[in-house]
Chain A
Amino acid sequence: MSNYLKVSLSPHIHSKDDTGKLMKGVIIALIPALIASVYYFGLGAIIVTLTSVAACVVFEYAIQKYLLKGPVTITDGSAVVTGLLLAFNVPSNLPVLIIILGALVSIGIGKMSFGGLGNNPFNPALVGRVFLLISFPVQMTTWPVPSGFKTGYADAVTGATPLGIIKEGLRNGETIPQLMNQVPDHMQLFYGYMGGSMGEVAAAALILGLIYMLFRKIITWHIPVSIIVTIAIFTGILWLINPSQYADPLFHLLTGGVMLGAIFMATDYVTSPMVPKAMLIYGAGIGILTVVIRIFGAYPEGVSFAILIMNAFVPLMNAYIKPGRFGKEVKNG
């Protein structure tokens, strides 16, 4: 016989969907929001994105090749996703050096120090983002406001985010109905016409990405839906109790990082729970913490912190919340 036959264990076929394809899917899902950012913030959005992605990939390559002296896996696309998400979470006029520092923290501390892909407990992009927020509070909260396509970078027109306006106004004794006149209306918020981190503003574009990821079965509905529903219920109750002190639920959903966080940050495979039941609890936790920080905390926005805090509970949830086993109940007819 001329052929040597291979012998291996079953199964002998594979779905052919690999890690790289999933990451590519996430990148495709991020494209509408990226286009929206460029539309609102101009060239700055492109510079921030390219810097962040390039820095993340280069750092991952350098750490794997020269520090760990192991295999280089930048082609799996996970560093690109981290780079994109980091860029989406910072203002579009952030100095390039600060972005590079953020990328180093994201990849170096957030991901590689724990053993690389699959082993990091916290979302790497958020680790980088929160590091920057605490280290460079001024630069990280100088928000450009949309003013058509611009080629300028550092000279962007800046202003407060809607959440910042509300927080500041309430502190000064103004009421929600008065403050609502100072922020864009809900339709503008939906399309993203507001100040904020470059990738978080356009809820419409982010939702397009969600639909794509659900369609491609890259993620399931559990995490985004539980976050959104929890925030809507929590803020809805407060709003019904006292509409002069608490903004309406839709305002909360469309502002700040809720959509970006619920759709792209909290759903990060590595740092989210494995079982649907746990995903719902995790999402509800993020929703509650976000509202608590926004309304009762010092920061106007709390999605990043809420996700990082819930990330910390994921190993616990994975250990104790088990999938519905087959053969538990006996339904003898």
Chain B
Amino acid sequence: MLKTFPTGGVHPPENKLTAGCKIEILPPPKSVVIPVSQHLGAPAVPVVNKGDKVLAGQLIAKAAGFISANIHSSVSGKVLKIDSHTDTSGYKQTAIFIDVEGDEWVPEIVNGSDPVKEIKLSPEEIVQKCLDSGIVGLGGATFPTHVKLKVPAGKKCDLLIINGVECEPFLTSDHRLMLEKGEEIITGTRIIMKALGVEKAVIGVENNKQDAISLLERLAGKNGDISVQALKVKYPQGGEKQLIKAVTGREVPSGKLPLDVGVIVQNAGTAYAVYEAVQKNKPLVERVVTVTGKTLSRPGNYLVRIGTPVSALIEAAGGLPDNAVKIISGGPMMGKAIGNTQVPVVKGMSGLVVFSGGETERKQYGPCIRCSKCISVCPMGLEPYLLMALSQKVLYEKAGENRITDCIECGSCSFICPAYRPLLDYIRLGKSAVVKMKREKSMK
């Protein structure tokens, strides 16, 4: 039986143009820019200096504190400088610039593709390995994985959910990875299960990826420890809370974490990265990025080194069309529009969507006609029309009472609004103000 989450949701056109494109390996570029902050939490601290020679897979910036992640060089070459660069969001961030020379790897890294199934490390060693290898959640939030793998005392985890939903239109990187690295993802899932000490894992995949569902079902075998749950196609099913609800029926309470209902969710891409780290000693230095768009001549899925400029990926996909107006890092519902093509690929970049002409036009917005469509599509059961009005009027206290901080910023409300109202823009504004207000209150 197909499952899904019950509250809200929308059906944007899927546009999975690259679902049939095999992952292509992109050679290292001439130079890379590796930001020290590619994860949620404290930026890593550089441990190399200008002029140092580095190997691919070598640690170049160390995690600063518990919620932080190591950064490794994705190429071999010479550190050109440590300087600021413009990141995906348009902010200035510290990055390590490396000029590429050859392609030499740290010797301990196994670069072969034959799957290793046997898990030799202990749970503690697995967590340490994830920390050492700079593994972060690859679904987009980039939360350091080693933090998620440590179940705090007093909490109990009884289920691991592997997120293979990929509900964003256009994106296919997880889909391709599940098809081409299915064995590795299954082993990666078992590694995470061992680290967490759980007996059961469910891989949630939307029904538009039938091939991946049947492949993973076959690979998971008859052990019964890993099952695959086919899900009805509906956005935002890949949202952590929505996926947990769809798979288990459990609802993560407002302001709580999945662990509070005994669940940990990891992305399918993360499971692969964990596999690479634990079985092959390979830190997170490359990832699959979907480069797509209706006007690109050669859209595809590319395995690319972290730090490669976006322009190299777009070149590989046939170059930027003349009528391109927007490049989105991530999917069209939640991704960020990037301002220039020199932005490097980072750990959390699942795709690049190139939009041309009217595909992404924002029309002049009109008055709210109270059609209540925003309420009916909100997966969190909020009232976007009201939250926007309260944010506009700076009534943050009231917005907080109406649970503005529950918003997962999926964009369904802005997507559906017939008056083209920028609902999510204002909700973000109000949400950040309410979060700040709450923080100040708790400090007093």
Chain A residues with a Cβ under 8 A of chain B: 1-3, 5-15, 17-19, 21-22, 73, 76, 78, 116-119, 220, 269-270, 272-276, 318, 322-333
Contacts and interface: CB of A to CB of B under 8 A. Distances in A.
Given A9-B425, A117-B367, A274 B385 contact: yes
B10 A15 contact: yes
A10 B371 contact: no
A119 B369 CA distance: 8
B249 A6 contact: no
Contacts of A1: 320, 340-341
Interface string B331-345: 011111111110000
Interface stretch (B205-213, B217-225, B376-384): B376-384
Contacts of B362: 8, 14
A22 B371 contact: yes
Contact of B251 (A9, A78, A117, A328): A328
A5 B327 contact: yes
A15 B386 CA distance: 21
Contact of A269 (B372, B380, B382): B372
Contact of B372 (A5, A118, A275): A275
Contacts of B260: 330
Interface stretch (B72-80, B124-132, B184-192, B410-418): B410-418
Nearest to B361: A14
A14 B251 contact: no
Contacts of A8: 326, 337, 362
B366 interface: yes
B370 interface: yes
Q: Is the interface of B mostly helix, strand, loop or mixed?
A: loop
A323 B378 contact: yes
B254 A327 contact: yes
A3 to B, nearest CB: 6
Interface of B: 7, 10, 12, 90, 169, 241, 245, 248-254, 256, 260-262, 320, 322, 324-328, 330, 332-341, 353, 355, 359-360, 362-363, 366-372, 375-376, 378-383, 385-386, 402-403, 406, 409, 411-412, 414-416, 418-420, 422, 424-425, 428
Given A1-B320, A10-B333, A10-B336, 9 more contacts: A1-B341, A15-B415, A21-B418, A118-B368, A274-B383, A323-B375, A323-B382, A325-B403, A332-B261
Q: Is the interface of A mostly helix, strand, loop or mixed?
A: loop
Contact of B12 (A3, A13, A275): A13
Contact of B359 (A13, A269, A272): A13
A231 B403 CA distance: 37
Contacts of A322: 383, 402
B437 to A, nearest CB: 20
B367 A116 contact: yes
Contacts of B381: 323-326
Nearest to A329: B251
Contacts of B386: 318
B252 A327 contact: yes
B35 to A, nearest CB: 19
Nearest to B170: A13
B369 A5 contact: no
A13 B169 contact: yes
A332 B169 CA distance: 32
B254 A325 contact: yes
A332 B360 contact: no
B415 A6 contact: no
Contact of B333 (A13, A220, A273, A328): A13
A270 B376 CA distance: 16
A10 B424 CA distance: 8
Contacts of B375: 274-275, 323
Contact of A10 (B256, B332, B340): B332
A333 B249 contact: yes
B337 A5 contact: yes
B132 to A, nearest CB: 33
B357 to A, nearest CB: 11
Those 5 A-B pairs whose CB atoms lie nearest each other, nearest first = A11-B411, A118-B367, A325-B381, A274-B372, A12-B332
Q: Which residue, A5, A116, A274, has most C-beta atoms of chain B within 10 A?
A: A5
B382 A325 contact: yes
Contacts of B337: 5-10, 12
17 contacts: A5-B327, A5-B337, A10-B332, A11-B412, A12-B328, A12-B337, A19-B369, A117-B367, A118-B370, A220-B376, A269-B371, A269-B372, A270-B369, A275-B375, A325-B403, A327-B380, A328-B251
